[in-house]
Every structure is written in structure tokens, then in C-alpha cells.
Structure 1
Amino acid sequence: MFSRSALSRGAQLAARRQGCSQLAQRRGYAAAASSAPSSLTYDTTEVAGVKVATRDSHGPTTKLAIVAKAGTRYQPAPGLTVGLEEFAFKNTQKRLALRIIRESELLGSQLLAYHTREALVLEASFLREDIPYFTELLAEVISETKYTTHEFHEDVERVIKIKQAKLANDVSALALDSAHSVAFHTGLGAPLYPTSSTPLKSYLNEHSIAEYASAVYAKSNIALVGDGATTTALHRWTEHFFKSVPASPSNSLALNTKATTYYGGEQRTAHTAGNSLVVAFPGSSFGTFKPEIAVLAALLGGQPNVKWSPGFTLLSKAAASAPGVVASGVNLAYSDAGLLTIQVTGAAASVRKASEEAVKALKSIAEGAVSKEDLTKAVAKANFDALEASQSGVSTLLSAGSGIIHTGKPFQIAETVQSIGGVTADKLKSAAKSLVDGKATVAAVGDLNVLPYAEELGLKV
């Protein structure tokens, strides 16, 4: 391997890229093109103790991501996941943050760190021939990052405060966090970002983040996902660079791994920045996928598929009766639970009216009042949404990596599409009935004098 002690030297960079380009062309572009279905499927194996998933679209670019079991669900104290995310691609034992930035810019690449309720993702997008460099960089980030007092106070603390200020006026995000808290209590019920009222000082500092990193960044808790890379190349560089990553957590800090329980209930929060109401029910997890829930979410929908048309979805029709309202229905899938949400945002009176119509629409599905044409459209939309999400992008890497670290295998789109096609009117009716007859989750944020209670919507909590 070439030394990268000063990659800013143009000649050194050009020499490295030329050498790697030959490898990429030999192992990637010369390979026979696979059939369309297999291009959506990840090959999985274990390399040097690391769970690796790869699929090759034979394009000129590659996305490579480390997906770690470190979302807000697993943090033992508030704020740790956000703090760990903000230390990504900072100073390491070998590179200063400035050098990482400079090298990445010279290669025309993009580095990204983000988290969900169940995962922390470190992602790199780059030209195909640069896979050796970025495999090494990701391995270095999770095994040799420095967690310093200066970095914490100068950057991490500042970013967290900015996110808290932004969240304070985002009633949609607050309502969704509130719905998770009511539905699941702890674990998945933890807010995606800490609010300004969250007591962080006693939990969050550079030492607690470093301890959390030692618990998270172990081979047993991560998956390496490559999209646009050959299996041979990714396995070779994983074997070479991930030797230094610990096989298991290197300290006694325990992640929160309690199994998810659905509770349901109601929570109301007064707010002056707007109005948002979430009605939710137990949904489909990616551990036990329920195709009828995917079709139900597509039938509820929200935004029309075609401009100038209200669309066929039930929520788009409900929103049309209350001008200025934004309504959406979506299944939020997690490893061992799911939350089918109906969220309505807008003026308080309009949110109330649209919410009433939305619940009526859901109950009409439970009574079997769905036309054959609308069912056909919903199945087609659910299939399209699944296939669209499977193409190269953030959701693909995240779902593949999350599937591996939680269930041992990636979420394979071919199986999903096949099961969605088997949803019948009776299965849809049965699924909807079980939801409306069960315990709902209702979260209201805004003008509580106008926003409805669950009982007023005809729901049991």
C-alpha cells in the first residue's frame, strides 16, 4: 500500500488512484452483468469477524457504510448516540479531521454520519477505484477516533444545542417522538434527538461518549455494507483493514437491549409553533414482515401520485376536506416492532377534521369497504415503494445493515415484493380490524383546546 501521510501531494494521489483503478476494472467492470433481480440482492458473509453485505450494480461509484447497533434505542443514557455521531470523521490516531476533509475532497467523495432509533451509520460515497482508501478510513474511524475535551466543547456541544433549538419548533417531529414514547416507553420510545429540557449535563461528556464508543464499535455490533462494490474487492480490503477492530465490547458498559413491548396510550403537549396529531398502531417489523401492513400503509397514503389530482389514497381524500393540512400514513419498521402511523399537520381545526376523516377511513377498511380497484392500486404502490427504496441510497444501506445486525440477514427486496403481491381483500380487512379493535397510540402537539382526544376519534387507548 502507498503511504498516505500527506495525500495532498497530487502525484501521490494520482499514483494511488491509478493502481487501484486497475484492480477495480479487473474485478468490477470485467465481471459478467447479473440479471436484474440479483442486482437487488445482497451477498452476505463474515470476513475477519465482520458481517459484510455486498451487491454490485456495476456503476462508476460505490457507497460503503458501517451500520452499528447504536441508535437511541440502545443508548444507556440520553444524548450518547448524538454525541457519538458528531465525533465521526473527527481526529483519529493517524489523521486530523482537516486531513480527512482534504483527502475526501481531493477524491471527490462524500462522508456522512447519521442515526436512527436503532442504528448509527457512517457512510462514504466515492468513485469505485477508491474502495481501499475508504475501507481503511471507516475501520480507522471506529477503532482509533480521539474523544477529546476540546472537540466536545467546541463542536459536539454546539451541534447538539443547534439541533435542540431546531427541534423545539418542529411540531411534527415532537408529535412523532411523543407517539413513540407512548407506544414503547423506553428503548424505541427514546426521542430521536434530546430536547432542550433533557438533562444532559450529568450524562454527556467526552468520557461517556468514548465509553459508549467502546461498547458500540465492536465486530459483534456492526455490519459493513457495500453498494456498487465487487464482493472480491470489499472482502479483500475488509480482511486487511478491520483486524484492529475489537471482536467484542472492550468495557463493562452495557447497551440497552431490552425487547420491545407495545403499550399504546395518549399524550398531549401544548405548543404555539403549530399543530400535529399522530394516530398509531402496532405495525410490521423487518424481523417479521407483514405484507398486509405495507399495503394498508399504501392505501392510507397521503400525498397524491399525480399533480392536480387528489389521488386514490384515503388520507389524500381526508386532507382534501381540510385545506392546508398535510396527512401521511407510513409503517415505521424496526427490528422487533413496527409502528403504523397516521400523521396530520396543519391548522388546529383542519387537523381535527382531517383526523376524524382518517380514522373513519381506517374503520371503513376494517369493514371491508375497499373497492377492488383501490386494492389493486394499493398493492401496486406498495410494490413500487419497496422497489424504489431498494435502489442505491441511504435507506438501502441502512435496511441491509440493520437487517444483518438484528436478524442475521439483510432485508431482501425480492421476498418483500412477492409477499405484497399475495395480499387479498380479506387479509387487508382482517389486518385493519385487528388494529382498530386493539389499543391505539395518540399523540397531539399544538392547540389542545381544539385537537381531539382519542376517545373523540372513537379509538381505545
Structure 2
Amino acid sequence: MLSSSTFGRRAALRAANCRQCLSQPANRRGLAAPASGSFQYESSEAAGVKIASRDFAGPTTTLALVAKAGTRFQTYPGVTEGLEKYAFRTTERRSALRIVREAELLGAELSSYHTRENLILGAKFLRQDLPYFLELFAEIVGSTKYEPHVYDEEIKPLIQMAHKRHIDNTTELAINSAHSLAFHRGLGVPLRPSSATPYTKYVDANSIAEFASAAYSKSNFALVANGTNHGNMAKWAGQFFSSAKNSSAKALESPPSKYQGGEERIAHNSGNTMVLAFPGSSSFTGGSYKPEIQVLASLLGGQSSVKWSSGFSLLANAAAPFPSVKVATKSAIYSDAGLLYVTLEGSAKDVAGAAQETVKTIKAIAGGDIKKDDISKAIAQAKFKELEYGQQLWAGLELTGSGLVQSGKVYQIDETAKKLEAVTEEQVKKVSSVHISPMSKNDANRVMNVGCSDPP
């Protein structure tokens, strides 16, 4: 264990070492890192915990604990968000104040967030401080204090503020509703409830502690890092996580995802958003991965990659006559399913007009009316986005951790990019004709019958 008595000396010695490193010749190699620039993860187990890492050249490390505890797997509405906000608070050994002050002393950044499938705890720090943060994560997993007064005074107000932001955002509401229509349960559970009832009826310190017991069992989470030697990570993870709970009496489970589809209109006084959604692809580590879906998302497009230009993607051209409209296409990937969706935001009149043109374009693509040059551009853009995503420090951390927990596979960005490059024109046309037909449509509009009374 890293005692508090040695903490100050470690910080002082590290500062001295940093000054010494700055005075060394630039051509001296001070960090062990792969020279190939590969994005490949190395994976193994340490003390029963799945771990993965890749060693980038650089002085910092990004560490994530990825738990299969997103809203899809929560036992009661709202407990995932409650557990997220208990991260980095008081444990059996450290107070919340001590955790904050030590992180600041080491110049680190701490974060926590959740998605539909995962709860992610993150830390970004100087790479020599890996042992400290692995020990901290082990304490969070095994000895966080879920005290009622902390929930009432600190956690609940944060949840209420997040809830208010959520219900004021028409895009978030529409995307959540589209997922609900597409999958009903599981992936259809919203990231945040649109009603405050769950926070008053189901969520408290006891229900969050019970959920944490299952979420933080060894079989339910993985550790993933960018910018560290895999041997060091295995050594320290094995030491600090040896006492973590092996399993839970009640495992967190969710039925397999099945696309349903549907249509919904929501009255709202803050803006206008329309979402058109279709069956998508699972992640690379899932059983239904289809790289052509990602190419199709790039083909539809909407957002320009060039400043001061609306771009020349198919949906950008379709929405060009409606200047207030922002259109974007995204392929959301999950462990066993996905959702390809188009989002339109703007004035009620322009959203209604752009929606009509968008559907015409989508129907033309589904009918096979696609130019070869457009497909070539879409493949190149999809590959670029995947590789650019891999260069970001946080990229792949969640997907890799989720893959390790749910299927034992690592999300390898290099391999994904190769599959995208191998997509053919025939594959894109085939997936367009099959996947774009069933449509889940959701509107969140200021006036319900503007752009929504007659489905486009």
C-alpha cells in the first residue's frame, strides 16, 4: 500500500526527476513505447481482473475502469447515475477531500460518466503515478462509503441538476425516445429518466450500495489504460485488486437486444428536433458487427468537415435549402446491436421541409441509387474517422473494456479500419436496402403538428 507518510516525498522526488529530465539531451530515450505507432491493445488478467493497455510515447497515462453497469443493466431507474456520482468520494481509507487534494498535488484529472451499457471511471495523470491511481480505483471498487447524508446533501442535488438539463435538451430527449422505440427495454432505457419520480421512489444510498456490489465485482469490470507498460499495469493491478469481490449473488443482466421500431411525437417548448433511426451495427467485439453501416453513416453525412462550408454529403445537399437546420448522421454501436440515426435540428418550418428531403434521399439510397464516387468518399471518410478516433487518448477505452467484460475481446482499432477499407459498393447497397426500410421516427417539436402531423 502507498502510505500517506511517503506521499509528500514521492511528489518532491518526482518534481526533481522532472527537472532532471528537462535538462537531458532531446535525443535520449526516456520512455518505453512502441515505435510502430500501432493502436493495438495488449490484454491479460491480474488477480482475476481483465486488463488491457497500449504503450504510447508520452509522459501521461489515461486509465479507465469500465464496469458493465450502464442504464441497460441498472436494477432500478436512476441507480446508475447515482453510482456514477458516488465515484471519488469517501472510502474506508480516504476522505473525499483527501482524494481531491492528492489528485491535485499529482496534477491529475478525475472523471466519471455512464453510457447505455457502461459506467466509466477515468483518471489522467503522469505515467509514473500509475500505482497511486490503481490503488485509488481499487479503494473505490471495494470500500466506498455509501452514506445517506452524502446522497441527500451532495448526490441528489447533482442528479436533479442533470435531470433539468436533460429535459431542456430536445435532441437528448429525441435520441432517448428513438432508442426506446427501437429496443423497448435494455438499450431502450433512457440515459436519464425524463421524470423525477425514479429519484424520489427508487434511488437512495442503500439501493446504490446494493447496485455497486454487483457492478464492482471482478467479473463485471475491466481496467484499460493508454500510455503505460503492460507489465507494470499487471503488477500493480494484481497487488491492489486482489481483495476485490470476485462475484455478486445477483449478476447484472439484460435480455438480448431486438429491434422493434415505432413512432412518437413529443411536445416541447425549447426547440425542434427530429430523429430518424434504423437498425445498426454492434461494436467490433460484438456478434453482429457490420462495417458497411459505418460507411453508410458517412455516406449520409450532414456535418461538414470543412469550415465555412455545409459540405457535399448527401444529407448536406438535401438540407441546403433550409439554412437553420443542422443535420448529422451517427452510427451508435453497442455490444449486441446498434442504431443508425439522422438528427435534424432547427426552426419548425425548416425541420419539416428538411425532413421531407431527407426521407427522399434515404429512400433513393435504399433503392440502390448511389454513385460509386460517393461510396468511395464515404469509405475513405469512415476509415479516417476510425483512425483519428484511435489517436485520441480516451478513444477505445470504453469499447475495449466493454468488449473484455462481455465477450473477452479487445476493440482493436487497426483491425476495424482494415474492415472498413474492405467494404465494397455491393455491401453498402445491400445494407441500405435491408436496414433503411424499418424506420423508428421520433420528433420533439415546439409545435406538435408542425413537421410532424404527416409522417414524411
* TM-score category (smaller protein): over 0.9
Residue in 1 that maps onto 2:182: 183
Q: Deviations over 1:64-99 (max 9, x none)?
A: 110000000000110000000000000000000000
Q: Counterpart of 2:402 in 1: which secondary structure?
A: helix
Question: In structure 2, do the counterparts of structure 1 residues 210 and 295 end up closer, same or farther at CA, with 3 Å as the change threshold?
Answer: same
Structure 1 range deviating more: 168-177 or 302-311: 302-311
Equivalents in 2 of 1:434, 1:282: separation in Å?
A: 9
User: 1:370 deviation in Å?
Assistant: 2.1
Matched ranges for 1:373-392 at <5 A: 373-392=373-392
Q: Deviations over 1:281-339 (max 9, x none)?
A: 11000113211101000011111111233312112122212111111111000000100
Q: Deviations over 1:346-395 (max 9, x none)?
A: 11111111111112112222223222222111111100111111123334
Question: In structure 2, do the counterparts of structure 1 residues 197 and 33 end up closer, same or farther at CA, with 3 Å as the change threshold?
Answer: closer
Equivalents in 2 of 1:11, 1:242: separation in Å?
A: 25
Equivalents in 1 of 2:114, 2:108: separation in Å?
A: 20
Q: Counterpart of 1:34 in 2: which secondary structure?
A: coil
Equivalents in 1 of 2:280, 2:386: separation in Å?
A: 16
Q: Counterpart of 2:435 in 1: which secondary structure?
A: helix
Residue in 1 that maps onto 2:279: 282
Structure 1 range deviating more: 161-170 or 305-314: 305-314
Residue in 1 that maps onto 2:259: 262
TM-score, normalized by length of structure 1?
Answer: 0.92
Residue in 1 that maps onto 2:36: 35
Equivalents in 2 of 1:419, 1:266: separation in Å?
A: 33
Equivalents in 2 of 1:343, 1:408: separation in Å?
A: 33
Q: Counterpart of 1:243 in 2: which secondary structure?
A: coil
Matched ranges for 1:303-318 at <5 A: 303-318=303-318
Gaps of 5+ in 1: 23-27
Equivalents in 1 of 2:116, 2:333: separation in Å?
A: 10
Q: Deviations over 1:180-210 (max 9, x none)?
A: 1111111111110122344332210000000
Q: Deviations over 1:205-234 (max 9, x none)?
A: 000000000011011000000100101110
Question: In structure 2, do the counterparts of structure 1 residues 2 and 259 end up closer, same or farther at CA, with 3 Å as the change threshold?
Answer: closer
Residue in 1 that maps onto 2:104: 105
Q: Counterpart of 1:281 in 2: which secondary structure?
A: strand
User: 1:435 deviation in Å?
Assistant: 2.1
Question: In structure 2, do the counterparts of structure 1 residues 386 and 121 end up closer, same or farther at CA, with 3 Å as the change threshold?
Answer: same
Question: In structure 2, do the counterparts of structure 1 residues 129 and 394 end up closer, same or farther at CA, with 3 Å as the change threshold?
Answer: same
Count how many residue pairs are aligned between Structure 1 and Structure 2.
444
TM-score, normalized by length of structure 2?
Answer: 0.93
Equivalents in 2 of 1:370, 1:171: separation in Å?
A: 32
Identical residues among aligned pairs (%): 47
User: 1:145 deviation in Å?
Assistant: 0.3
Structure 1 range deviating more: 300-309 or 344-353: 300-309
User: 1:396 deviation in Å?
Assistant: 2.0
| Counterpart contact for 1:2–1:16, Cα < 8 Å | no
User: 1:29 deviation in Å?
Assistant: 4.1
Equivalents in 2 of 1:49, 1:425: separation in Å?
A: 44
The answer to whether the aligner puts 1:121 opposite 2:120 as a matched pair is yes
Question: In structure 2, do the counterparts of structure 1 residues 62 and 98 end up closer, same or farther at CA, with 3 Å as the change threshold?
Answer: same
User: 1:436 deviation in Å?
Assistant: 3.2
Q: Could you say what the CA RMSD is over the residues aligned between the two structures, in angstroms?
A: 2.0
Equivalents in 2 of 1:393, 1:227: separation in Å?
A: 7
| Counterpart contact for 2:65–2:122, Cα < 8 Å | yes
Equivalents in 1 of 2:3, 2:130: separation in Å?
A: 16
Structure 1 range deviating more: 99-108 or 196-205: 196-205
| Counterpart contact for 1:281–1:341, Cα < 8 Å | yes
Matched letter for residue 394 of structure 1? W
- Given candidates 11, 14, 20, the residue that maps to 1:13 is 11
The answer to whether the aligner puts 1:417 opposite 2:421 as a matched pair is no
Q: Deviations over 1:39-59 (max 9, x none)?
A: 201011111100001100121
Structure 1 range deviating more: 175-184 or 299-308: 299-308
Q: Counterpart of 2:35 in 1: which secondary structure?
A: coil
Question: In structure 2, do the counterparts of structure 1 residues 244 and 275 end up closer, same or farther at CA, with 3 Å as the change threshold?
Answer: same
